[in-house]
């Protein structure tokens, strides 16, 4: 009986803490990516090549989740859906990452990480 109460309390606490753990994990991921990016640039890698590698890794990580978890809820591929996907796929990750990496190559990592926090404000203004 006491073990059940302890596990219920632990489950409630984990549900409350889960968003904070997710945000801390995300920030560690960003920090790791900044470090990998700057080391790659210092060794002479082009920002175009780094962007392609990032997209390949993201595809390999996300594709199994999309395939198994969203197998039955995918929309039918029509021309308007395809054009929207192509436009969003080009504008957000490709253009954003290439401009960000070009800026990071010419500035410090601290400045580049500070500018990421400005993106929601710029999006709100637009």
The pLDDT tens digits along the chain (126 residues) read: 566 676 788 788 888 899 999 999 988 988 888 888 888 988 999 888 988 898 899 889 999 998 888 878 777 888 988 888 888 877 767 777 777 787 777 877 677 777 767 767 776 776
Query: In whole angstroms, how far apart are CA 49 and each of 81, 98, 102, 111, 123?
Result: 28, 10, 12, 22, 27
What are φ and ψ of residue 70, in 5° steps?
Answer: -120, 30
Predicted TM-score of the model (pTM): 0.64
In the chain, how many domains are there? 1
- Count other C-beta atoms under 10 Å from residue 51's C-beta: 19
Q: Which domain holds residue 112?
A: 2-125
């Amino acid at each position: 009986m006491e073990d059940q109460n302890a596990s219920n309390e632990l489950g409630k606490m984990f549900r409350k803490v889960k968003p904070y753990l997710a945000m801390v994990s995300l920030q560690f991921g960003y920090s790791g990516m900044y470090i990998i990016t700057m080391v790659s640039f210092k060794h002479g890698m082009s920002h175009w090549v780094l962007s392609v590698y990032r997209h390949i890794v993201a595809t390999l990580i996300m594709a199994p989740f999309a395939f198994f978890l969203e197998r039955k809820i995918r929309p039918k591929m029509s021309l308007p859906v395809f054009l929207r996907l192509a436009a969003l796929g080009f504008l957000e990750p490709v253009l954003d990452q290439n401009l960000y990496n070009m800026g990071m190559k010419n500035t410090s990592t601290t400045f580049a990480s500070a500018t990421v926090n400005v993106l929601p404000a710029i999006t709100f203004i637009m």
